[in-house]
């Protein structure tokens, strides 16, 4: 492969760059832009070479067992439970920024919430293999509180 043209300062020798690209076997930029399938194939090849195989990162194969969404005033998290899971074996823990569901067998699911919530407002319902958790968002306060100034 040919060496790229040496550049000094900020000025770029475009003709030298085009000549280097031709010597390297690379098509001209305008010809490449007319062939989007070629670009798509090149990008796919680069991504498949850069990303390890699916078995290398088992966490990528793990399907999330929950869905999290929010409305104007509430955050909802729905957990899909196994058919053998009994509701009395579940433990739910709530923090202002996340919730944790302890499952039988020592397993747990932890969900980072999209916003800060009021943990005391938590309502959970387990029905037909789905645990639905409803949390009230912490309201924005518009009033100011006076803070002491030390001297």
pLDDT tens readout for residues 55-90: 444 444 445 588 999 999 999 999 988 778 888 889
pLDDT digits (tens, 9 = 90+) for 23-60: 776 666 556 656 677 777 777 777 777 765 544 444 44
Of 8-22, 69-83, 113-127, the least confident: 8-22
CATH number of 62-137: 2.60.40.790
The SS3 of residue 57 is: coil
Q: How many Å apart are CA 60 and CA 131, to the nearest integer?
A: 24
What is the pairing mode between strands 66-70 and 74-80? antiparallel
8 Å CB contact between 15 and 7:
no
Q: Is residue 107 pLDDT above 80, yes or no? A: yes
Q: Between these two residues, 11 and 144, which has the higher pLDDT value?
A: 144
8 Å CB contact between 130 and 78:
yes
Reported pTM:
0.54
Q: How many Å apart are CA 10 and CA 27, to the nearest integer?
A: 25
What is the pairing mode between strands 108-112 and 98-102? antiparallel
Q: Per-domain residue ranges for the chain? A: 14-50, 62-137
- State residue 74's pLDDT score: 95
Q: How many Å apart are CA 13 and CA 6, to the nearest integer?
A: 9
């Amino acid at each position: 492969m040919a060496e790229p043209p040496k550049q000094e300062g900020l000025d770029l020798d475009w003709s030298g760059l085009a000549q280097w690209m031709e010597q390297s076997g690379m098509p001209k930029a305008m010809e490449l832009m007319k062939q989007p399938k070629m670009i798509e194939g090149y990008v796919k090849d680069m991504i498949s070479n850069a990303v390890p195989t699916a078995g290398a990162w088992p966490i990528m194969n793990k399907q999330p067992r929950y869905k999290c969404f929010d409305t104007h005033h509430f955050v909802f998290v729905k957990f899909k439970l196994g058919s053998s899971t009994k509701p009395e074996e579940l433990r739910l823990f709530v923090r202002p920024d996340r919730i944790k569901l302890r499952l039988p067998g020592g397993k747990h699911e932890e969900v980072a919430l999209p916003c800060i919530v009021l943990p005391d407002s938590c309502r959970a319902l387990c029905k037909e293999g789905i645990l639905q958790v409803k949390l009230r968002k912490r309201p924005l306060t518009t009033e100011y509180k006076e803070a002491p100034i030390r001297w």
